[in-house]
């Protein structure tokens, strides 16, 4: 291939890259903008807040699943049926046989520690509650 052909090929590659950038950068900006607007809309925040608030569950911890590490969260197995992700700092305080429950119309879940006979209270809805009420106060 001659040097003239190589120069022409490089020029065409540069033109193609520039054209693709002109197409995909605006699309990316639009997608990010829509995502930000939707995630900060009052209806979305209300739905997420109420979904977490109305959720209820309870059960005994049957396994701490210590071999799984998801960064800042760790899984626990409840009643040998379902996994729940919890913060690592709570995970290290729990033992098999401890209990977990969250009532409907509550933002808190409770971990009842069997050996120490105490309870750990965790606010599971703090993020959406704050965002939702801040959005309501903007009106």
Q: Residues 67, 77: contact at Cβ < 8 Å?
A: no
Q: What is the pLDDT of residues 82-114, one digit of tens each?
A: 898 899 889 889 989 999 999 999 999 999 998
Burial of 109 (0-12, 13-18, 19+ CB in 10 A): buried
Residue 39 has a pLDDT of 67
Residue 50 has a pLDDT of 92
Domain spans, the chain:
3-39, 46-137
Does residue 28 register a pLDDT over 80?
A: yes
Name the pTM for this structure.
0.68
Residue 1 — pLDDT band, cuts 50, 70, 90?
low
> Average pLDDT, stretch 8-22?
88
Q: What is the pLDDT of residues 44-74, one digit of tens each?
A: 888 999 999 999 999 999 988 877 777 888 8
């Amino acid at each position: 291939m001659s040097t003239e052909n190589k120069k022409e090929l490089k020029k065409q590659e540069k033109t193609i890259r520039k054209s693709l950038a002109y197409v995909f950068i605006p699309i990316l900006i639009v997608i990010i903008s829509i995502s930000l607007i939707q995630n900060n809309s009052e209806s979305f925040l209300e739905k997420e807040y109420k979904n977490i608030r109305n959720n209820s569950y309870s059960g005994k911890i049957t396994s701490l699943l210590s071999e799984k590490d998801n960064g800042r969260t760790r899984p626990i197995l409840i009643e040998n049926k379902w996994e729940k992700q919890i913060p690592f700092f709570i995970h290290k305080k729990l033992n098999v046989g401890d209990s977990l429950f969250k009532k409907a119309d509550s933002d808190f879940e409770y971990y009842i520690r069997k050996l120490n006979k105490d309870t750990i209270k965790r606010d599971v809805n703090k993020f959406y509650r704050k965002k939702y009420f801040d959005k309501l106060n903007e009106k």
